[in-house]
Amino acid sequence: MKISVFGAGYVGLVTAACLAEVGHHVTCCDKDDAKITSLRAGQVPFFEPGLADLVANGVKSGRLDFTVDTATAVAASRVAILAVGTPPRADGSTDLGQIHGVARELRGHVTGPLTVLIKSTVPVGTNASLAELFAGMQVNVISNPEFLREGSAVADGLKPDRIIVGARNESDHDLIRALYEPFSRNHEKIMFMSPESAELVKYGANSMLATRISLMNELAEYSSRIGADIEDVRRGMGADPRIGSSYLYPGLGFGGSCFPKDLRSLESQMAQHGVMPSVVSAVIARNERQIDLVVDAVVRATNGQSAPVVALWGVAFKPNTDDIREAPSLKIARRLLDQGHAVRLSDPVVSKAQADAALAGSRVTFADTELHAAEGADVVVLVTEWRQYRRPEFAELRRVMRGATVIDGRNQWSRKQVEAAGLAYIGIGRR
């Protein structure tokens, strides 16, 4: 099947590469000429494990191509996939300018039957507004939200656990089955429903996962007050089959391009329809409090120290990505800077240029290794649970630090090993 994908970001590029991998012919279109030139040369503009090889395979096979021209992309395409950005406005609502802009461009190049799939995360009602835009044409608009996790997007794209399809016409079902047949051979993964339901599924799923994280962080704070250990509590809760262990890990809160943006958007949508977003608003507020708790712990540990220095291990919002959007590291860094601390950063994938751009003009330095970041530091905070941070040489860490406090923001270190090296250990909700 011939497919065009509009947007060469995380969602668009992974979607295009996965569809090409299973045999479809895909043209990926993006207005960023430099990005398209790089992709044609086999250079992926962001870090995602396995994606560069998948793109190279698609280009080499002739099933994946890139263009900046909308007419070229849509020519002879049976399916057009919209995967452009839907950034938040200042009030939390969603800016649909890019979605509507691409749809209007498509409208001028449609010459035959076309199915438009909305992959981008969009507020409920967006499908209806695009359907109205294409009224009178042989165009069907289908909501088909993505569920790609940064750091494992290729695996999620090639082996989805479900495929949500919001279609108004049953005549669209056969085309969707043909499109996704390579991904559903073991068992049926496609779930058909109304566009409105499909649009809400994405927001509902992310809100549920974020709620679990915020609840565990709230229980962790309570645990630290009463002498309980949140790791024991987590295991006990997760053993209940009605609950399970996924997303029960306390830490520094959620970040990235999805959870914060999607929860604020859902909060805005519900308020517009007269529904009190009590739970959603509480989850957002709890997530911000988690940053305050860590910053407070740092301030207490450096009380009385002149020109305190803090090393943050990990800048990306999660492992296996270079994405720093809404990253806890940046929030912690900014608040510490406001308190008069100097901050040192280290990350195995995020570049110094990225960190400098995000924290321009601040007293932040970027170290090439986590140990170099810790040299002369009063406090070390584990922010991102990169694999290479799991078992540091604590004795060497103590030797290079000025202070002696480590904050385990992901509860992955052994208190016994830390304290044996002469360091003071602070975990999240640890006894």
Write the pLDDT tens digit of every residue in 273-324.
999 999 999 999 999 999 999 999 999 999 989 999 999 999 999 999 999 9
CA gap 255, 43 in Å, rounded: 26
Contact predicate 69/35, CB 8 Å: no
- Per-residue pLDDT tens over the stretch 238-287: 999 999 999 999 999 999 999 999 999 999 999 999 999 999 999 999 99
- Per-residue pLDDT tens over the stretch 145-203: 999 999 999 999 999 999 999 999 888 899 999 999 999 877 889 999 999 999 999 99
Query: Does pLDDT of 362 surpass 90?
Result: no
- Per-residue pLDDT tens over the stretch 6-47: 999 999 999 999 999 999 999 999 999 999 999 998 899 999
CA gap 227, 14 in Å, rounded: 45
Three-state DSSP state, 254? coil
What's the pLDDT score for residue 120? 98
Torsion of CA 357, 381, 10, 48, to 10 degrees: 110
What's the pLDDT score for residue 296? 97
Q: What architecture is domain 207-426?
A: 3-Layer(aba) Sandwich (3.40)
What's the pLDDT score for residue 283? 98
The boundaries of every CATH 3.40.50.720 domain in the chain are: 2-192, 207-426
Any catalytic annotation for residue 18? Answer: no
DSSP letter for each residue of 130-170: HHHHTTTSSEEEEE----PPTTSHHHHHHS-S-EEEE-S-G
Query: Does pLDDT of 360 surpass 90?
Result: no
Q: Where are the beta strands (DSSP E) in 16-144?
A: 25-29, 64-67, 79-82, 114-118, 139-143
Reference 211, options 279, 131, 265, 277; nearest CA is 279
Query: Does pLDDT of 361 surpass 80?
Result: no
Number of H helices, E strands in the chain: 17, 14
Contact predicate 345/370, CB 8 Å: no
State the pLDDT confidence band at 76, using cuts at 50, 70 and 90: confident
What's the pLDDT score for residue 169? 87
Reference 218, options 208, 233, 204, 238; nearest CA is 233
Backbone torsions φ then ψ of 403, nearest 5 degrees: -90, -165
What are 181's two structure tokens? 């047949």
Mean pLDDT of the chain: 96
> Domain spanning 2-192: which superfamily?
NAD(P)-binding Rossmann-like Domain (3.40.50.720)
Mean predicted confidence (pLDDT) in 348-362: 90
- Per-residue pLDDT tens over the stretch 42-75: 899 999 999 999 999 999 999 999 999 999 999 9
Three-state DSSP state, 388? helix
